[in-house]
Structure 1
């Protein structure tokens, strides 16, 4: 694209004739100014690669014989010559200006090849919150008072106004930003004793019928084994909780149930109803200080069925208002076992016997006896603790709306498998997985989906 050119001529001399007549004779006019000293201003718009156009003003003295020659040249072929002279002059003036200021000329070739140099920025260690304080706040967030939340928000220079729910969400959002740092902290890895003092191993036995998946189960055996996490041992083989339970909906045990569990009709007839047995279990927990603020514990089961299915069904039949909160979070030891020992997509059978076999252990006692099953599960827990496994709650019960229950069922499975899973859609609480981040942050303790105030 040709450079846009404009020339503005400013006449410095008037049109005074070269000669004049004095006394009838032609003489040279003394006021005549030679056109050789004629000057004009030229303003030229020159395109560059750095900017679209650069406007340069300069004065150029042109040598010519007469004023008429200059005026004629503007409309003649010599106009191109004037343009070239003006462009050359403007470039020289620009070079002089740049040299005077110490700047370098930027031309097209240099602009194409000049490398871009990134500015050097000194590294600064990112700001991090105290990991212990983050864990402390997130673990206690669900039970903090409004005043405590406001205090923590003020420490973090965050708005502390609003209702408790607003403060709760604000504080939770602020501290969750540090989870990516905290979850990789070495002192939290494989340290189950950081989280728990005891594990309570439970394996219920219930009324049942052969191949009847929608059976209304009732708990008929309630065992509990206490494992000391730090000592990696059962607290006492004698001091265990064990009680049979008298069923109310179906008081008569089927032949299949007695053969399968080893529980006779006489055993359950002499037993107390579930609510009384549950009270006895709570008394046993208090005896071992379970539930106090300075003692941390978690329930351990082999799979989700004991709590998510059998215990939940029993709570409904016993007309309890809801599943107790401490029973809603538990360690599915089968899932923890697979994550620790099995390779991904392993086809090995995972059940109580399979886990014992993998660990070169044999089942002790009678299979499908609630007490013996619990003792063997406790042995697996102790072995995993010795192998520095990180055992933590990995499943929880969450109450959902009736309109959302159908979404929990899988459709791409066999009818038999679907019937086995039908209880998941018929009960008010469903099973949700607890991720490690959710566990460390204490987010899993949130009851956003609960409809209770307790």
Structure 2
């Protein structure tokens, strides 16, 4: 794992939840929008996972449907009560985590691609550095597996329990951080 981790003491672990549709059939006129940014910080020296939170995001190009709510637990009402716009979420992350200076990680490439796509659409700078660690790929390489496996199966492989609710951004980020901590030794 060659990253900025050699020069900093923290890595941010991010997991997104986004608008989704059954069978990935995106309705005409809608685009995938981030609706939750789950984030936590892993201290590379102490191996302590901290600052776990969910930042709920108001979708601007799509709507949350019943399939999406069933999968993520995120309702339109939750977004109405607790959501902020994506550009505000990016500012919040930069302010609270100094994220532009840190390596960040996610389980797969979806999180990175979606963050950069949505920032590009809005014409804003991404809140994260370009130093991204794909934990799914690192896991596969570390254990010399033939295929990529999902987050829950990776935890099972390590004989770890999944903590929280799958498809909750904050819980998925936390569980990904547990995997990163194991890979770092």
TM-score by length of 2: 0.86
Matched, 1:332 2:131: no
After TM superposition, list the pairs within 5 Å mapping 1:299-310 onto structure 2. Answer: 299-308=104-113, 310=114
Do 1:210 and 1:256's aligned partners in 2 also have CA atoms closer than 8 Å?
yes
Q: Give deviations 1:95-115, integer Å, cap 9, x for gaps.
A: xxxxxxxxxxxxxxxxxxxxx
Please name the residue that 1:201 is paired with.
13
Partner residue of 2:160 out of 331, 351, 361: 361
What CA distance in whole angstroms lies between the structure 1 residues aligned with 2:4 and 2:64? 41
- Secondary structure of 1:263's counterpart equals coil
Please name the residue that 1:261 is paired with.
72
Q: Give deviations 1:79-131, integer Å, cap 9, x for gaps.
A: xxxxxxxxxxxxxxxxxxxxxxxxxxxxxxxxxxxxxxxxxxxxxxxxxxxxx
Please name the residue that 2:31 is paired with.
216
After TM superposition, list the pairs within 5 Å mapping 1:105-184 onto structure 2. Answer: none
Once the 2 structures are TM-superposed, how far is the Cα of residue 195 of structure 1 from its aligned partner?
A: 4.4
Q: Give deviations 1:213-256, integer Å, cap 9, x for gaps.
A: 5561111101210000111221x3xx334211111222x31110
Please name the residue that 1:297 is paired with.
102
Please name the residue that 1:371 is paired with.
170
Once the 2 structures are TM-superposed, how far is the Cα of residue 261 of structure 1 from its aligned partner?
A: 0.6
> Whose RCO is larger (CA < 8 A, sep 6+)?
2
- Secondary structure of 1:376's counterpart equals helix
- Secondary structure of 1:202's counterpart equals strand
Partner residue of 1:226 out of 32, 41, 48: 41
Which consecutive residues of structure 2, in runs of 5 or more, have no partner in the other structure?
none
What CA distance in whole angstroms lies between the structure 1 residues aligned with 2:7 and 2:25? 37
What CA distance in whole angstroms lies between the structure 1 residues aligned with 2:140 and 2:171? 22
Matched, 1:282 2:94: yes
Do 1:216 and 1:313's aligned partners in 2 also have CA atoms closer than 8 Å?
no
Do 1:207 and 1:220's aligned partners in 2 also have CA atoms closer than 8 Å?
yes
- Secondary structure of 1:277's counterpart equals helix
What CA distance in whole angstroms lies between the structure 2 residues aligned with 1:267 and 1:362? 27
Once the 2 structures are TM-superposed, how far is the Cα of residue 193 of structure 1 from its aligned partner?
A: 5.6
Do 1:232 and 1:385's aligned partners in 2 also have CA atoms closer than 8 Å?
no
Once the 2 structures are TM-superposed, how far is the Cα of residue 212 of structure 1 from its aligned partner?
A: 2.5
What CA distance in whole angstroms lies between the structure 1 residues aligned with 2:73 and 2:163? 15
Please name the residue that 2:116 is paired with.
312
Change (3 A) 1:281 1:190: closer
Tell me the matched-pair count: 181
Q: Give deviations 1:51-79, integer Å, cap 9, x for gaps.
A: xxxxxxxxxxxxxxxxxxxxxxxxxxxxx
Once the 2 structures are TM-superposed, how far is the Cα of residue 206 of structure 1 from its aligned partner?
A: 0.5
What CA distance in whole angstroms lies between the structure 2 residues aligned with 1:328 and 1:193? 13
What CA distance in whole angstroms lies between the structure 2 residues aligned with 1:245 and 1:311? 12
TM-score by length of 1: 0.37
Which consecutive residues of structure 1, in runs of 5 or more, have no partner in the other structure?
1-188, 387-454
What CA distance in whole angstroms lies between the structure 2 residues aligned with 1:272 and 1:279? 11
